[in-house]
Amino acid sequence: MDGKTDKAIFMARIGYARVSTAEQKLEPQVDALKAAGCETVFEDVISGAKAERPGLNDALTFLRRGDTLVVWKLDRLGRSMKHLVETVAELGDRGVGFRSLTEGVDTTTTGGTLVFHLFGALAQFERDLIVERTQAGLKAAATRGRKGGRKPVVTPKKLEQAKAHISDGLTVREAAARLKISKTSLYNALRDQKTG
Protein backbone atom coordinates (compact mmCIF):
# COMPACT_ATOMS: atom_id res chain seq x y z
CA MET A 1 0.00 0.00 0.00
CA ASP A 2 1.55 3.33 -0.99
CA GLY A 3 1.59 6.54 1.09
CA LYS A 4 -1.14 8.18 -1.02
CA THR A 5 -3.55 5.32 -0.37
CA ASP A 6 -2.75 5.43 3.37
CA LYS A 7 -3.57 9.15 3.51
CA ALA A 8 -6.86 8.54 1.71
CA ILE A 9 -7.84 5.88 4.27
CA PHE A 10 -6.87 7.69 7.47
CA MET A 11 -6.68 11.49 7.29
CA ALA A 12 -8.09 11.61 10.82
CA ARG A 13 -7.52 14.36 13.33
CA ILE A 14 -6.72 12.89 16.73
CA GLY A 15 -6.75 15.19 19.76
CA TYR A 16 -4.66 15.16 22.89
CA ALA A 17 -5.65 17.20 25.96
CA ARG A 18 -3.76 17.48 29.24
CA VAL A 19 -4.14 19.30 32.53
CA SER A 20 -1.69 19.11 35.43
CA THR A 21 -4.12 18.69 38.33
CA ALA A 22 -7.64 17.36 38.96
CA GLU A 23 -8.74 20.91 39.90
CA GLN A 24 -8.10 22.05 36.32
CA LYS A 25 -10.74 21.26 33.72
CA LEU A 26 -10.13 19.33 30.49
CA GLU A 27 -13.44 20.40 28.92
CA PRO A 28 -12.25 23.68 27.32
CA GLN A 29 -9.41 21.85 25.55
CA VAL A 30 -11.62 18.92 24.54
CA ASP A 31 -14.31 21.29 23.19
CA ALA A 32 -11.71 23.20 21.11
CA LEU A 33 -10.23 19.96 19.77
CA LYS A 34 -13.65 18.60 18.77
CA ALA A 35 -14.52 21.94 17.14
CA ALA A 36 -11.27 21.56 15.13
CA GLY A 37 -12.53 18.23 13.77
CA CYS A 38 -10.90 15.74 16.12
CA GLU A 39 -12.78 12.44 15.96
CA THR A 40 -11.08 11.00 19.05
CA VAL A 41 -9.51 12.86 21.97
CA PHE A 42 -7.05 11.25 24.38
CA GLU A 43 -6.65 12.83 27.82
CA ASP A 44 -4.21 13.00 30.72
CA VAL A 45 -4.51 14.57 34.16
CA ILE A 46 -0.81 14.62 35.00
CA SER A 47 2.06 17.06 35.31
CA GLY A 48 3.79 17.93 32.04
CA ALA A 49 7.12 17.17 33.72
CA LYS A 50 6.21 13.47 34.01
CA ALA A 51 7.78 11.28 31.35
CA GLU A 52 5.05 8.63 31.55
CA ARG A 53 1.70 9.92 30.29
CA PRO A 54 -0.76 7.09 29.55
CA GLY A 55 -3.16 9.20 27.46
CA LEU A 56 -0.34 10.51 25.27
CA ASN A 57 1.11 7.01 24.89
CA ASP A 58 -2.34 5.75 23.78
CA ALA A 59 -2.69 8.63 21.31
CA LEU A 60 0.75 7.99 19.81
CA THR A 61 -0.06 4.28 19.45
CA PHE A 62 -3.45 5.05 17.89
CA LEU A 63 -2.11 7.42 15.21
CA ARG A 64 -1.68 6.10 11.66
CA ARG A 65 0.13 7.44 8.60
CA GLY A 66 -1.80 10.42 7.25
CA ASP A 67 -3.39 11.28 10.63
CA THR A 68 -2.77 14.57 12.41
CA LEU A 69 -2.21 14.90 16.16
CA VAL A 70 -3.91 18.07 17.38
CA VAL A 71 -3.29 19.83 20.70
CA TRP A 72 -4.84 22.97 22.12
CA LYS A 73 -1.44 24.46 23.00
CA LEU A 74 2.20 23.40 22.48
CA ASP A 75 2.91 23.03 26.20
CA ARG A 76 0.16 20.39 26.45
CA LEU A 77 2.35 18.01 24.43
CA GLY A 78 6.01 18.66 25.28
CA ARG A 79 7.75 18.58 28.67
CA SER A 80 10.36 20.92 27.20
CA MET A 81 11.19 22.45 23.84
CA LYS A 82 13.60 19.56 23.20
CA HIS A 83 10.94 16.95 24.03
CA LEU A 84 8.36 18.76 21.89
CA VAL A 85 10.66 18.95 18.86
CA GLU A 86 11.67 15.28 19.23
CA THR A 87 8.04 14.14 19.52
CA VAL A 88 6.93 16.09 16.44
CA ALA A 89 9.97 14.86 14.49
CA GLU A 90 9.06 11.25 15.38
CA LEU A 91 5.49 11.91 14.21
CA GLY A 92 6.83 13.30 10.94
CA ASP A 93 8.99 10.20 10.44
CA ARG A 94 5.81 8.11 10.78
CA GLY A 95 3.95 10.25 8.24
CA VAL A 96 1.79 11.84 10.96
CA GLY A 97 1.10 15.59 11.00
CA PHE A 98 0.98 17.86 14.05
CA ARG A 99 -1.18 20.88 14.75
CA SER A 100 -1.36 23.27 17.71
CA LEU A 101 -4.54 25.36 17.74
CA THR A 102 -3.35 28.25 19.94
CA GLU A 103 -0.01 28.90 18.24
CA GLY A 104 -1.29 28.09 14.75
CA VAL A 105 1.47 25.55 14.06
CA ASP A 106 0.46 22.97 11.45
CA THR A 107 3.14 20.67 10.05
CA THR A 108 0.78 19.46 7.32
CA THR A 109 1.42 22.81 5.60
CA THR A 110 4.69 24.08 4.14
CA GLY A 111 4.69 27.16 6.39
CA GLY A 112 3.96 25.07 9.48
CA THR A 113 6.81 22.71 8.70
CA LEU A 114 9.17 25.69 8.32
CA VAL A 115 8.06 27.13 11.67
CA PHE A 116 8.65 23.82 13.37
CA HIS A 117 12.13 23.47 11.85
CA LEU A 118 12.86 26.92 13.28
CA PHE A 119 11.70 25.70 16.72
CA GLY A 120 14.09 22.75 16.40
CA ALA A 121 16.97 25.02 15.42
CA LEU A 122 16.22 27.34 18.37
CA ALA A 123 16.09 24.39 20.78
CA GLN A 124 19.48 23.18 19.54
CA PHE A 125 20.88 26.72 19.77
CA GLU A 126 19.67 26.97 23.39
CA ARG A 127 21.32 23.62 24.28
CA ASP A 128 24.58 24.72 22.63
CA LEU A 129 24.54 28.03 24.54
CA ILE A 130 24.05 26.23 27.86
CA VAL A 131 27.01 23.94 27.15
CA GLU A 132 29.14 26.90 26.03
CA ARG A 133 28.30 28.94 29.16
CA THR A 134 28.98 25.98 31.45
CA GLN A 135 32.38 25.33 29.86
CA ALA A 136 33.28 29.04 30.00
CA GLY A 137 32.28 29.19 33.68
CA LEU A 138 34.36 26.11 34.55
CA LYS A 139 37.36 27.50 32.65
CA ALA A 140 37.07 30.88 34.41
CA ALA A 141 36.82 29.16 37.80
CA ALA A 142 39.85 26.99 37.00
CA THR A 143 41.97 30.05 36.16
CA ARG A 144 41.08 31.37 39.63
CA GLY A 145 42.16 28.06 41.18
CA ARG A 146 38.67 26.67 41.79
CA LYS A 147 37.40 23.37 40.49
CA GLY A 148 33.84 22.92 39.26
CA GLY A 149 31.42 20.44 40.75
CA ARG A 150 30.39 19.66 44.29
CA LYS A 151 32.64 20.38 47.23
CA PRO A 152 34.38 17.24 48.48
CA VAL A 153 32.68 15.50 51.41
CA VAL A 154 36.01 14.51 52.93
CA THR A 155 37.82 17.77 53.63
CA PRO A 156 41.56 17.74 54.35
CA LYS A 157 40.74 18.25 58.06
CA LYS A 158 38.32 15.29 58.11
CA LEU A 159 40.85 13.15 56.26
CA GLU A 160 43.50 13.86 58.90
CA GLN A 161 41.00 13.09 61.69
CA ALA A 162 40.03 9.83 59.98
CA LYS A 163 43.68 8.79 59.63
CA ALA A 164 44.21 9.51 63.33
CA HIS A 165 41.16 7.38 64.25
CA ILE A 166 42.40 4.54 62.02
CA SER A 167 45.89 4.65 63.58
CA ASP A 168 44.16 4.49 67.01
CA GLY A 169 42.66 1.14 65.94
CA LEU A 170 39.30 2.04 64.38
CA THR A 171 38.28 0.48 61.08
CA VAL A 172 37.60 2.73 58.07
CA ARG A 173 33.88 2.09 58.58
CA GLU A 174 34.05 3.13 62.25
CA ALA A 175 36.16 6.21 61.47
CA ALA A 176 33.70 7.25 58.75
CA ALA A 177 30.74 6.78 61.11
CA ARG A 178 32.42 8.88 63.79
CA LEU A 179 33.02 11.71 61.29
CA LYS A 180 29.50 11.36 59.79
CA ILE A 181 30.73 10.63 56.25
CA SER A 182 30.18 7.55 54.10
CA LYS A 183 32.78 4.80 54.21
CA THR A 184 32.95 4.90 50.39
CA SER A 185 33.86 8.60 50.45
CA LEU A 186 36.53 7.93 53.05
CA TYR A 187 37.94 4.95 51.12
CA ASN A 188 38.09 7.12 47.97
CA ALA A 189 39.79 9.99 49.81
CA LEU A 190 42.40 7.64 51.33
CA ARG A 191 43.01 6.04 47.92
CA ASP A 192 43.31 9.43 46.18
CA GLN A 193 45.85 10.61 48.78
CA LYS A 194 47.99 7.51 48.22
CA THR A 195 47.93 7.86 44.42
CA GLY A 196 48.24 11.68 44.47
Instruction: Please tell me the distance from the alpha carbon of residue 122 to that of residue 137, in angstroms, as a whole number.
Output: 22
**Average pLDDT estimate for 114-135:** 75
pLDDT per residue as tens digits for the range 71-113: 999 889 877 778 888 888 889 889 999 999 998 889 888 887 7
In this predicted model, which residue has the larger pLDDT, 168 or 11? 168
In this predicted model, which residue has the larger pLDDT, 151 or 110? 110
pLDDT bucket at 16, cuts 50 / 70 / 90: very high
In this predicted model, which residue has the larger pLDDT, 173 or 145? 173
Instruction: Please tell me the distance from the alpha carbon of residue 49 to that of residue 53, in angstroms, as a whole number.
Output: 10
pLDDT bucket at 150, cuts 50 / 70 / 90: low
**Average pLDDT estimate for 12-41:** 94
> Does residue 167 have an active-site annotation?
no
pLDDT in the model for residue 196: 58
Give percent of the chain above pLDDT 70: 88
pLDDT in the model for residue 110: 83
**CA proximity to 76, closest of 21, 17, 27:** 17
pLDDT in the model for residue 154: 86
Residue 9 has pLDDT above 50, yes or no: no
pLDDT bucket at 185, cuts 50 / 70 / 90: confident
**Average pLDDT estimate for 44-68:** 88
CA within 13 Å, CB half, 85: 17
Asked if residue 76 lies in contact with residue 26, where contact means CB atoms within 8 angstroms, the answer is no
Alpha helices by DSSP H, 144-171 = 156-167
Instruction: Please tell me the distance from the alpha carbon of residue 33 to that of residue 10, in angstroms, as a whole number.
Output: 18
Ramachandran region, residue 130 (left: φ > 0; alpha: ψ -120 to 50; beta: rest): alpha
